[in-house]
Amino acid sequence: MSGRLLLRLAPLLLVPVSFGLSRSGASPVWTFVAAAAGIVPLANWIRRGTEQMSSIAGPAIGGLLNVTLGNAAELILALFVLAAGHASVVKATITGSIVGNSLLGLGLAIVVGGAGREKQTFQRERAGLLASLLILSVVALLVPALFDYTERSLRLAPDADTLDERLSMGVAVVLILAYGANLLYTLVTHRDVFAGGEAESKAEGDPGDRWSLGRVIAALVAATAAVALEAELVSGALEATARSVGLTTFFLGLIVLPLAGNAAEYVAAVYFARKDRMDLVMTIAVGSSIQVALLTAPVLVLVSWAMGTPMNLVFANPLELVAIAAVAFTVNAIAQDGETNWFEGVLLLAVYLVLGIAFFFVR
């Protein structure tokens, strides 16, 4: 076994460690930390397996696979937290993922990639599309909140909860259809316009590191099953951990859980930024935020009904909506000129830290 493979497999030891801690009666804090950290390498293995499947199945099917499995770890984690009755934490996780990917992930990538360079460039068409989709996300999440305020506070409607759920179902369907149209636009009708990032992705691949179909399927199944185990441990230790460390479940859901679910994407974005592949960086960082807002969140709404724990898209804390709007505003500002420098990355990180401090004091 090569040293490189050992380095990739070593972090997976967190999976049996977290399971052992949960069974040994250890503090829930240690179980939470080990399980959340264990999701990070598992998410990376899902990402690598998806990339390998894309090289086998072709770009069109590969694009669909990336959409389906790109946030698999995060979706599984959210489902377990939702099943445990923490709908507000799931909503916070949605906000945290959107904010973290586009501010923290992109900010780190731009700082690292821009170090020693005057500027880096990317495809304005793709970045502009992503910025437009972020604006759609803001509208889609703002409308249910305003509707809830109108019905509950102004009209004093007795069936406000039912109306919120029906509106959320309708919005969820529209968002999924819009995301499907985005796939049709970028992968089929205007594929030539957005082919640059795909070509770069292939150029970065190691021809000697190709997996067989059997290995890809085995890796995806095993990693997904392990993520489900870790997600169950995280959801079970969530409240006890929050009490022990003096944090709210809202803060853990908004900051800590998204970091665990998206750490692999942050690393990938930083890696490609250092290679001066900024088209890929924008797709990884901002594209992940788009996927969470237009696909993961709506899917959670629909699946929650099947689970018997309905979740709506009403974000009761206005600060969450402000954070998502800030993401759309900053990404749109960066996407306009098609270039970045390290200082713009610092500004993104500053916005993330300001929002994080505000969320820390939310009670």
Average pLDDT in the chain: 84
Looking at residue 235, its pLDDT comes to 87
CATH superfamily for 8-360 is NCX, central ion-binding region (1.20.1420.30)
> What is the pTM assigned to this prediction?
0.85
Across 134-148, 286-300, 312-326, 340-354, which has the greatest mean pLDDT? 340-354
pLDDT for 203: 42
Output the 3-class SS for the chain. CCHHHHHHHHHHHHHHHHHHHHHHCCCHHHHHHHHHHHHHHHHHHHHHHHHHHHHHHCHHHHHHHHHHHCCHHHHHHHHHHHHCCCHHHHHHHHHHHHHHHHHHHHHHHHHHHHCCCCCEECCHHHHHHHHHHHHHHHHHHHHHHHHHHHHHHHCCCCCHHHHHHHHHHHHHHHHHHHHHHHHHHHHHHCCCCCHHHHHHHHHHCCCCCCCCHHHHHHHHHHHHHHHHHHHHHHHHHHHHHHHHHCCCHHHHHHHHHHHHHHHHHHHHHHHHHHCCCHHHHHHHHHHHHHHHHHHHHHHHHHHHHHHCCCCCCCCCCHHHHHHHHHHHHHHHHHHCCCEECHHHHHHHHHHHHHHHHHHHCCC
Sequence spans of domains, the chain: 8-360
Q: What is the pLDDT at residue 59?
A: 54
Lowest mean pLDDT among 56-70, 102-116, 154-168, 206-220: 56-70
